Amino acid sequence: MSLEIDYTSEGFPSGSPVTNGDAVLSTTWDELLWAAVTVGRPNRQYVFRYGNASMYEAVFRWSLVRMALEQRTQDYLCRTDAARTLDPSEKGAVNYFLGMTFCKLFCARLLNAPWALHLDVFRPQLNPVLTGRSRPDLVAMTNTNDWIALESKGRISLPSAEVKDKAKEQAKRLMRVNGVPPRFHIGCITYFRDDVLQFFWRDPKPAESEPNDPIETKVYDGLWRYYYQPVFELIHSHSHNFTEMLRGKALLPIEELDIAVGIHPLIFEVLSQARWGDAKQICQENATLLHHDGYRPDGIRIAAGKSWSLPFNEFEVTVTQKS
């Protein structure tokens, strides 16, 4: 079942893949949950103090989406009552995560850029440059190896002109990735209008001069482990499914969330050898095969069960009955 997201695009140059103005993106729970689990960033060690944090990261992200969003008002995504009653700091954390998720989703679909890393993975390179919040959140790469700088914001209401301007200015601070200027510097804002999720993004004109404290970074192969680890470690923790997936015969069911997850055997074997950068390259070289076999461009497949189309409270009842 499809999901509809109203969105607005501004400032994209003529000839870019994005047409300026208002439009509707049709997506699915499968694709949304894929975006949520593949915004590559370091594990939340402050949340998971014991055991392998990566193993729980995927479940944590999906649980947050389930708590915050539900499908109603025809095929639109709406804020749940549970999300509405969070305290201000909790709302801020949830909205920030949703902002990154939908930034990743739109970038993958409309800019052919499925690969996204959070700028925090570069912190060892960039401290003390990454001080404060005046910086972009994500670095994305297209399937043709162009770079995109993305600032993602999450809001509970219509963003002001000041918020939009701040987002684009933060995106422009990233000047070069591996010595190459990003093709786009995009400010993205996910927000709610009457509790219905909306999306706005703007690609500002190139700056006439470099911003103060410009950011330059390098992406090396090992960093892509942050992209794959949440899903890979979740599967790896289930030894039976691990073996079956290497044979191309299984998706791992996450029954408490009504989700099944898998990694294409071609990619799974490479990840099992910790060849994180090679996995990305092999995906690009086998894009047609991955698509034919039902996987996303990164070799990951997420299948959401029917209960995801139910309101949040009904979902809880359904999952409880299954367990």
Judge contact between 43 and 120, C-beta under 8 A: no
Confidence (pLDDT) at 43: 55
Chunked mean pLDDT (size 10), the chain, 323 residues: 90 91 96 92 48 69 92 86 89 90 96 89 60 70 90 78 69 79 89 93 67 75 88 81 70 90 92 92 93 94 92 58 48
The one-letter amino acid code at 309 reads: S
Q: What's the Cα-to-Cα distance from 218 to each of 109, 121, 174, rounded to whole Å?
A: 25, 11, 11
Confidence (pLDDT) at 174: 75
Cα gap 237→56, rounded to integer Å? 10
Confidence (pLDDT) at 103: 94
Cα gap 17→206, rounded to integer Å? 18
Confidence (pLDDT) at 73: 65
**Pair of tokens at residue 175:** 């000047």
Judge contact between 190 and 167, C-beta under 8 A: no
Strands of the sheet containing 259-263, edge to edge, are 252-254, 259-263, 300-304
Confidence (pLDDT) at 55: 63
pTM for the model: 0.88
